[in-house]
């Protein structure tokens, strides 16, 4: 922590008449600002946080507040702006979203204490917290239904991997306490970061500056480079052990050097930003790289798993299936969708729990009713540990523990599957005395902040009750003392009065004054003032009462603060149990929500095993189906379910690839996406929108659907398409599921057809994966003649009186055309354009387009054969001029593919064919 600043004779900004000198207050500000580079400094002055100099200029633009000038510093006007302390969280949120970090500098002494050092002494101040995107804990700054992850990437020399380094990620959410570590590599890094979605990523300086990583950093909301020593592997173990207050990490499990370095960086950054406060983190849990389905960033974006391509939650898969009633449950659901499992046993355990609550209607309803009253235990606990909690956080913890115990009883009342039984066991193990204490101590109506007081229930603490009575009922207390004095002295005209000079005093008439001067009353009453017709006295008891009354409010608040600290300490004593309870409640919420989804939407339990099957009967798109039912899309009917079977044929050791053709708007992309989403749902442990499903575990899911450019990185739409396609072809395995739509459409016709042709062959022969490949290149359907596991499928349409009707039904076969002109007509193209397009299409189709395709099938080897090295030429062979080759070469020399029309390209092919025959 920075040393408190004490130099100062002037608490207010210097007046404008002060020239070219550094005032004590500004010296204090500059010193604190220098100690916190890279952060905007919220400098507390009374009821405002003030910002000066460049900080003020940046903040005024980001927050839309007025920039003023007040006083001078070294002869220059001081730019200044400020925000009220009461609204600080609102402004902090705006600054964090704008990418800034904020150092919160508070007054750490009472201004009255500062005045004792001199009338113009500066109040001591210090930074109590660094606010960064990955270290937020306040509800006002967080999305309740989304994790807020701080991650760190470490790299250590290993001699392994493609670049000779070992990589690891550590990621923690200090608002909930989760803390995990996992190995990664340079190829998989972007996919892992897309899965984790860190609000802030810590990286070593060396990695941050490497050009190869720049595209990854650009895709993240906040990346913080740190010095190399923050990732010091040698000191990481000691740093982690110190944070968790253990002598050794042996009980935590086995970690690699890179994992320890990443975890140590997270811990060090938390300690630095929280300035000594310790959030209640779980011990780091190691994840295996094979535990979850790998989904790269492009696939996540294409499938809109957690958010749509515009960044909205509404319209995503998560929003469509979310039936949770707690924010913790919503966060867990999002994590499960982001990290589908690859272990069939763990998936089956989730299925069992969902099936149980789907069949037990009454139990499901009771649990959901209880959950609706359960607060966010994990985030409330984190604020308690960091000293940022209010009375409502303590009450939330007590209420959550009470509801948890009740749910444990509901589940235990009948046999339940493993996942529910384990959750109930955790809830039943909570000590009920803590919840009882919190309930008895905290009032029903609670303020937001502890500093407001009034949160301890009357009757909980006798001294507090007496102090409050004195504060709130001083008139009654004074009247009671007055009555007692009247009874003791017998002077019925005795009055206790108050004024600003004497305070409280006893007043009697001159006739009765002598009685108070005589024994035994002269030892009690002391003469203070003689008035015309009256005399005033005081007493030791009255003076003490006056002191108590004047300080009763402060003493009541101080007592409440002490009691708050005692309650918070009792909560932290059971932090591990409370955190486990929070996790159990989230599991129950997700399970009950998925059970309700299954019942409401007619989802079924899929089979998930270690095989290579992928069979979906009557599959439906979970998002589109709901949109149709809610009439957000006017398509004129219910969702049309379709089958999909990518399972290996008999005796084959690899899955099928479906080549899907059909017109635009017929539903090809929807069909492709729905099968990918069904795989995600199944391996996340959810029932799926289908009549039946059997899925062999998918290790990696790839989807390239749709197109967009990336001009910031100098990439055209076609380049983006090729980069994504390259990632698929380089990484897909036989256990992968690949969804490809319209490969090659972003370039010239024959270029695109060639790329799509070669890609399809590569998927079939080299990757050997299960896949769906949608295309408008109808020539590709001929490949089914020579690729054994390639199946043609098409989306049915019906033509009626010159119009096309989309039936959205996927059937075996191939489409002979794309009906693009009909779709253009539906889009509103002018009639003249549509008719001219028909005429041009008729002319183009008049030639026999099958001839070049058949030639490729007959004469060109398969992709696998092309990859084999050519046989060596005989030593005695002598190069001779080949007239056919010369003719082909001459023909090719006169061709410019980028400038050719489809008809010219076809004619060129015929010339090449003629040359090849020697004609």
pLDDT band at 878 (very low <50, low <70, confident <90, very high): very low
Exposed/middle/buried for residue 41 (C-beta within 10 Å: 0-12, 13-18, 19+): buried
pLDDT at res. 19: 39
In a domain, 513, yes or no: yes
Q: Is residue 836 included in any domain, yes or no?
A: no
Q: Within a domain: residue 427?
A: yes
More reliable by pLDDT, 882 or 344: 344
Say whether 679 sits in a helix, a strand or coil.
Answer: helix
Please state at what angle helix 622-629 crosses helix 575-601, rounded to 10 degrees: 60
Helix (H) or strand (E) holding 792: strand 790-800
Any known ligand binding at 1?
A: no
The dihedrals phi and psi of 70, each to the nearest 5 degrees, come to -145, 120
Q: Do the annotations mark residue 664 as ligand-binding?
A: yes
CATH number at residue 515: 1.10.1420.10
pLDDT in tens, 685-698: 999 999 999 999 99
Helix H or strand E segment including 811:
strand 803-812
Per-residue model confidence (pLDDT) at position 854: 63
Does 189 share its domain with 277? yes
Indicate if 650 and 553 belong to the same structural domain.
Answer: no
d(Cα 105, Cα 94) in Å, to the nearest integer?
18
3-state class of 50 per DSSP?
A: strand
Closest CA to 109 of 122, 119, 123, 120: 123
Range in 99-108, 355-364, 750-759 the model is least confident about: 750-759
Least confident of 362-366, 367-371, 900-904: 900-904
Lowest mean pLDDT among 334-348, 500-514, 666-680: 500-514
Query: Torsion-angle region of residue 662: left (phi > 0), alpha (psi -120 to 50) or beta?
Result: left
pLDDT in tens, 645-684: 999 998 788 999 999 998 877 788 999 999 999 999 999 9
Res. 396: pLDDT tops 80: yes
Together in a domain, 476 and 590: no
Domain membership of residue 42 as a residue range: 24-131
Domain-terminating residue out of 248, 264, 289 = 289
Q: Which residues contact 570 (CB under 8 A, 6 or more apart)?
A: 434, 437
Cβ atoms of 26 and 14 within 8 Å: the answer is yes
pLDDT of 277 reads 84
Same domain, 93 and 174: no
pLDDT, tens digit, 9 for 90 and up, residues 707-738? 554 444 556 777 888 888 888 999 999 999 99
In a domain? residue 267 = yes
In this prediction, residue 20 carries a pLDDT of: 41
Q: Is 665 annotated as a binding residue?
A: yes
pLDDT at 761 over 70: yes
Is 668 part of any known ligand binding site? yes
Nearest in space to 125 (alpha carbons), one of 214, 26, 209: 26
| Domain contains 438 | no
**To the nearest whole number, what is the mean pLDDT of the chain?**
86
With bands split at pLDDT 50, 70 and 90, how would you rate the model's confidence at 18? very low
- Do residues 108 and 236 both lie within one domain? no
What is the rounded CA–CA span in Å between residue 194 and residue 295? Answer: 8
pLDDT at residue 864, rounded to an integer: 57
Question: Final residue of a domain: which of 105, 131, 157?
Answer: 131
Domains held by the chain: number:
5
Is residue 203 helix, strand or coil? Answer: strand
Kindly report the CATH number assigned to the domain that includes residue 782.
Answer: 3.40.50.300
785 by DSSP, 3-state: which?
A: helix
663 annotated as ligand-binding = yes
Residues 245 and 98 in one domain: no
Residue 473 has pLDDT above 50, yes or no: yes
Strand partners, 799: 804
Examine the domain organization and report whether 212 and 64 are in the same domain: no
Q: Inform me whether the pLDDT recorded for 910 exceeds 80.
A: no
- Residue 116 confidence (pLDDT) above 60: yes
In whole angstroms, give the CA distance from residue 380 to residue 378: 6
Query: What tens digit of pLDDT does each residue of 553-592 get?
Result: 788 999 999 999 999 999 999 999 999 999 999 999 999 9
Is 109 in the same domain as 205?
no
Of 306, 317, 211, 296, give the one whose Cα is nearest residue 725: 296
596 pLDDT band (50/70/90 cuts)?
A: very high
Share of the chain above pLDDT 70, in %: 86
Task: Return the DSSP state at 655.
Answer: -
**pLDDT band, residue 860 (cuts 50/70/90):** low
Residue 739 covered by a domain: yes
Which is higher by pLDDT, 426 or 830?
426
Distance of CA 772 to CAs 790, 816, 864, 912, Å?
Answer: 10, 19, 20, 34
Question: Is pLDDT of 185 > 70?
Answer: yes
Res. 176: pLDDT tops 60: yes
The model's pLDDT over 205-258, given as tens digits with 9 standing for 90+, comes to 989 999 989 989 999 999 999 998 899 877 899 999 999 999 989 889 899 999
Q: What does the pLDDT average to over 470-499?
A: 89
- Verify that 279 and 159 share a domain, yes or no: yes
**What is this structure's pTM?**
0.82
Q: In the prediction, which pLDDT does 77 show?
A: 86
Most confident of 348-362, 656-670, 878-892: 348-362
Q: Is 851 annotated as a binding residue?
A: no
Decide: 293 and 698 in contact? Cβ < 8 Å.
yes
Has residue 450 been placed in a domain?
no
What's the CA gap between 265 and 231, in Å, rounded? 5
Q: Do 725 and 811 fall within a single domain?
A: yes
Q: Determine what percent of the chain falls in helix, strand and coil, rounding each to the nearest 5.
A: 50, 20, 35
Torsion from C-alpha of 65, 71, 77, 78, nearest 10 degrees:
-50
CATH code of residue 162: 3.30.420.110
CA–CA dist 626, 646 (Å, integer): 26
CA distance 873 to 668: 48
Question: What pLDDT does residue 539 have?
Answer: 93
Domain match, 112 and 194 both: no
Query: Could you tell me if residue 1 is inside a domain?
Result: no
CA-nearest of 730, 733, 781 to 753 is 781
Are 354 and 416 part of one and the same domain?
Answer: yes
The residues, ordered by sequence, that sit 6+ positions from 144 with a Cβ below 8 Å of its Cβ are 327, 330, 376
Residue 500 has pLDDT above 50, yes or no: yes
């Amino acid at each position: 922590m920075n040393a408190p600043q004490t130099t100062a004779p002037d608490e207010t900004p210097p007046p404008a008449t002060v020239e070219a000198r550094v005032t004590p207050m500004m010296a204090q500000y500059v010193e604190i600002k220098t100690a916190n580079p890279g952060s905007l400094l919220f400098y507390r002055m009374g009821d405002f946080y003030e910002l000066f100099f460049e900080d003020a200029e940046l903040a005024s633009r980001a927050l839309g507040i007025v920039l003023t000038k007040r006083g001078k510093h070294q002869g220059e006007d001081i730019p200044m702006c400020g925000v009220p302390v009461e609204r600080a969280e609102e402004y902090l949120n705006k600054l964090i979203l704008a990418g800034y970090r904020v150092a919160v500098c508070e007054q750490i002494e009472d201004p009255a204490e500062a005045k004792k050092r001199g009338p113009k002494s500066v109040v001591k101040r210090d930074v109590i917290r660094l606010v960064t995107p990955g270290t937020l804990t306040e509800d006002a700054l967080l999305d309740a239904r989304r994790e807020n992850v701080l991650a760190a990437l470490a790299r250590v020399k290993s001699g392994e991997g493609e670049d000779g380094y070992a990589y690891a990620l550590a990621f923690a959410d200090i608002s909930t306490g989760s803390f995990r570590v996992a190995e990664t590599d340079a190829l998989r890094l972007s996919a892992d970061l897309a899965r984790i979605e860190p609000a802030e990523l810590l990286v070593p300086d060396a990695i941050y500056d490497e050009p190869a990583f720049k595209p990854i950093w650009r895709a993240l909301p906040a990346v913080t480079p740190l010095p190399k020593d923050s990732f010091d592997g040698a000191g990481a173990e000691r740093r982690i052990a110190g944070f968790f207050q253990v002598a050794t990490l042996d009980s935590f499990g086995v970690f690699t050097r890179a994992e320890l370095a990443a975890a140590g960086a997270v811990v060090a950054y938390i300690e630095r930003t929280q300035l000594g406060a310790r959030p209640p983190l779980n011990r780091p849990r190691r994840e295996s790289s094979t535990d979850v389905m790998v989904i790269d960033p492009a696939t996540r974006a294409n499938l809109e798993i957690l958010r749509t391509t515009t960044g909205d939650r509404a319209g995503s898969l998560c929003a469509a299936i979310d039936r949770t009633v707690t924010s913790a449950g919503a966060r867990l659901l999002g994590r499960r969708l982001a990290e589908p499992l690859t272990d069939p046993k763990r998936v089956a355990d989730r299925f069992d729990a969902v099936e149980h609550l789907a069949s037990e209607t009454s139990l499901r309803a009771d649990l959901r009713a209880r959950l609706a009253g359960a607060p966010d235990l994990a985030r409330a606990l984190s604020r308690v540990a960091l000293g940022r909690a209010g009375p409502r956080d303590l009450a939330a913890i007590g209420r959550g523990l009470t509801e948890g115990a009740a749910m444990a009883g509901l589940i235990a009342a009948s046999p339940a599957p493993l996942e529910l039984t384990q959750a109930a066991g955790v809830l039943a193990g909570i000590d009920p005395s803590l919840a009882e204490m919190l309930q008895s101590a905290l009032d029903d109506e609670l303020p937001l902040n502890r500093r407001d007081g009034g949160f301890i229930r009357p009757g909980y603490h006798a001294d507090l009750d007496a102090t409050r009575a004195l504060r709130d009922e001083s008139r009654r207390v004074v009247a009671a003392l007055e009555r007692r004095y009247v009874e003791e002295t017998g002077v019925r005209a005795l009055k206790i009065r108050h004024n600003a000079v004497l305070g409280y005093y006893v007043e009697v008439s001159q006739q009765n004054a002598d009685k108070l001067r005589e024994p035994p009353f002269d030892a009690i009453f002391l003469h203070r003032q003689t008035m015309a017709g009256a005399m005033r006295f005081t007493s030791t008891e009255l003076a003490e009462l006056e002191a108590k009354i004047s300080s009763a409010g402060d003493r009541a608040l101080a007592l409440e603060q002490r009691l708050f600290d005692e309650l918070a300490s009792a909560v932290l004593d059971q932090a591990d149990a409370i955190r486990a309870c929070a996790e159990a409640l989230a599991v129950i919420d997700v399970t009950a929500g998925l059970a309700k989804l299954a019942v409401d939407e007619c989802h079924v339990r899929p089979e998930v095993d270690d095989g290579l099957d992928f069979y979906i009967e009557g599959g439906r798109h979970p998002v589109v189906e709901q949109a149709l039912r809610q009439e957000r899309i006017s398509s004129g009917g219910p969702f049309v379910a379709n089958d999909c079977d990518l399972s290996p044929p008999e005796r084959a050791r690899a899955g099928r690839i479906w080549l899907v053709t059909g017109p635009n708007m017929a539903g090809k992309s929807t069909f492709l996406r729905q099968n990918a989403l069904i795989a995600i749902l199944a391996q996340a442990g959810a029932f799926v929108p289908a009549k039946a499903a059997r899925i062999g575990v998918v290790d990696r899911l790839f989807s390239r659907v749709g197109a967009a450019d990336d001009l910031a990185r100098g990439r055209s739409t076609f380049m983006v398409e090729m980069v994504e396609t390259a990632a698929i072809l380089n990484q897909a395995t036989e256990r992968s599921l690949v969804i490809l739509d319209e490969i090659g459409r972003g370039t010239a016709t024959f270029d695109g057809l060639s790329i799509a042709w070669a890609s399809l062959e590569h998927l079939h022969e080299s990757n050997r994966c299960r896949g769906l490949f949608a295309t408008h290149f109808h020539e590709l359907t001929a490949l089914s003649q020579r690729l054994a596991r390639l199946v043609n499928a098409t989306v049915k349409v019906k033509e009626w009186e010159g119009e096309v009707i989309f039936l959205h039904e996927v059937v075996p076969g191939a489409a002979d055309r794309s009906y693009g002109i009909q779709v253009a007509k539906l889009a509103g193209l002018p009639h003249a354009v549509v008719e001219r397009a028909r005429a041009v299409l008729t002319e183009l189709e008049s030639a026999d387009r099958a001839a070049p395709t058949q030639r490729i099938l007959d004469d060109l080897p398969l992709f696998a054969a092309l990859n084999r090295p050519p046989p060596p030429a005989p030593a005695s062979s002598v190069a001779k001029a080949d007239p056919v080759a010369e003719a082909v070469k001459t023909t090719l020399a006169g061709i410019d593919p980028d400038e050719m029309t489809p008809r010219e390209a076809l004619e060129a092919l015929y010339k090449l064919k003629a040359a090849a025959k020697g004609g």
